Structures are given as structure tokens and as C-alpha cells.
Amino acid sequence: MKKNKILSDGVLAFILIAVILLIDQFIKIEVKTHFCLGESIHITDWFYISFVENNGMAYGMTFFNKLVLSLFRLVAITAIGWYLRQVLRQKHTTGYIVVLSMILAGAVGNILDSMFYGLIFEASTPFSVAGFVPFGTGYAPFLQGKVVDMFYFPMIVTTYPSWVPFKGGDEFIFFSPVFNFADACISVGIVALFLFYRNEIEHLSETVKGAFRKK
């Protein structure tokens, strides 16, 4: 019975990761090959498809240079994948597998941009749409491609009151980051992890400690 559960949850994790990656990459390639950089389509007043690229982490954040960040992502993906495999071998809930799979798939989705987009695409510009090029002749080396973002939800657009120091009269936008499907999967997965799987987070700490003790 335990073997069957491991097999079924392992298959579920594989299918979920594969589906998320397919959706994420399909959206990104469609945007990359049909939009000029900075081009935006108005869907509603609070939802735009807006093509931007970034060198940083989720939602365009940047803390390291591009190569260091890509290497950090590879280490993080390896660690998450290793932990997911450990969880599949032990007592667990299916929901926890789903959450971990979402986080892993989102991380892989963004690293694929960094790994390969610079090798297979022309550079996007505000005046031209990028196309495919022979492998290795694109706009950036391996691991230094830019991540494609497109979802923009400016749910509130207003101005700061004049009495606000330094910001008075400036535009205020809530929610201003532009993100992609992979970012959304990571965010939903992390929020669900802290809301519903706190005991499993403690288990994560014990698993990591146990792995180091075995060494």
C-alpha cells in the first residue's frame, strides 16, 4: 500500500511539474515572439499583458549579478528536488506534494529562461519582435538569458496625498510588479506552505539535519 502511494504521488508530482513547465514556457515563448519589449495589451483596467524582461528573481527583484543568481537558482532547485524525493519516500500528504511540486516547477521554469533564452532568441527591443536564431547565436551566453514576465495587475492606481513626505503627489500603484506563471506558482506554493503545512516545515528541518548526520 505504501509503495502504491509513493508511486501515485510521485507520478502526480511529475505530471504537475511537467504541466506547469509546459504552460509557463508556452506563455513566455508566445510573448517573446509576438511582443516588442515594453508592449502592453489592455485586458481590463486592473489587468494587462505587458512584456518586460529582467535579470533578477521573482517579480523582477535583483540582489546579485546574473550569473551568480543563476547558479544560486540551480543550487536551490537541486535542494528542492532532493527534498521532494525524500518526502515521497516517507509519510506525507498529497497536498504537501502538490505544494512542493509547484515551487519546484516555478523555480525550474525561470531557470530555463536564464539557461536557454539567451542562446536561442534574438534580443527583444522596444522596436522589434524577437525571433529564434541558430542555437548558441542569441543575445546572451548560457545562464545569462533574461526572464520573460508579462502579467501586470495595477489593481489600484492613484497618487500619494500631498502631505506625504518625499512622495506627495507621486503616482502610487498597487500591485506594480510584472510577473510570469512560474512566479505565480512559486508564490502560491510558498503561501500554502506556511498556511497549511507548518508541521511539514518542521519536518523539513529534521530531514535536512538527518541528511547531514548521515554524512
The string of DSSP codes covering 65-118 is -HHHHHHHHHHHHHHHHHHHHHHHTSS--HHHHHHHHHHHHHHHHHHHIIIIIH
Task: Calculate the CA dihedral of residues 161, 162, 163, 168 and round it to 10 degrees.
Answer: 80
Question: What is the full per-residue pLDDT of the chain (215 aa) written as tens digits?
Answer: 455 555 588 899 999 999 999 999 999 999 999 999 999 999 998 999 999 998 765 555 555 567 788 888 899 999 999 999 988 888 788 899 999 999 999 999 999 999 999 999 999 999 999 999 999 999 999 999 999 999 999 988 788 888 878 777 788 777 789 999 999 999 999 999 989 888 877 766 666 555 555 55
Q: What grid cell was written down for 179? A: 510577473
Q: What grid cell was written down for 38? A: 515594453
Q: How far is 60 from 149, CA to CA, in rounded Å? A: 8
Give the bridge partners for 147, in sequence order. Answer: 54
Select which of 9, 24, 113, 149 is catalytic: 149
Q: What grid cell was written down for 152? A: 501586470
Active site residue 149: yes
Q: What grid cell was written down for 171? A: 503616482
Nearest to 156 by CA among 177, 172, 169: 172
Query: Taking the model in full, what pTM does it have?
Result: 0.85
Q: How far is 191 from 177, CA to CA, in rounded Å? A: 18
Active site residue 45: no
What is the residue type of 65? N
